[in-house]
Amino acid sequence: MDGMKKIILASASPRRKELLEKIGLKFEVEPGDGEEMPDSSIDPHKLALKISLKKAESVAAKHKNAIIIAADTFGVFNGKILGKPHTENEARKMLAIISGRSHLVITGFSIIDTGTNKVYSETVETKVYIRKLSSTEIDAYVKSKEPLDKAGAYAIQGLGSMIVEKIEGDYFTVMGLPLCALTEALKDFGINAL
């Protein structure tokens, strides 16, 4: 396998970049298109795959011999997709919905080798329990601006750590990139992080 193959992260997310750096991969960042319009009529797992693949393909088209990695993350509560709140009001509503309950966080990721046209996609799901929040706590959290543009209206690695009671599954899935599943999948592309 050609060790010179470029690895490209097709994501504008600073968290995904940080996570990939964690496992010591050398890569470039080139955000992919495929801004998610959550469509609740599609099974959430299928949707996460579809969006991550679309992001990967939009970047893959521009590179001859590269490995492209893309991902998409959202929350799911009662079958309804919790995307990114774009206003403080949306964030408040979303936090009120998940307060005192559990929801799922699904991250879909896709890997494309543009040299061999090999494609791999997978979704990983983690269950997150949010403690019961008072409206004062919700307001304070929303004022911090952290919930804006985060799937499910919280960042588990930030102040959100104070509202997440426990999780079942992979922590990094909630942050946006399931590192364990990703490193396993990358082995098939000749990339060994360990």
Sequential DSSP letters for 147-159? TTTSGGG--TTTG
Pairing of strands 6-9, 28-29: parallel
The active-site residue, picked from 33, 39, 43, 72, is: 72
Is residue 154 a contact partner of residue 95, using CB atoms and an 8 Å limit?
yes
Q: For this structure, is 33 an active site residue?
A: no
Q: What are phi and psi of 66, to 5 degrees?
A: -145, 160
How many helices and strands in the chain, by DSSP H and E? 6, 7
Give catalytic residue positions.
Answer: 72
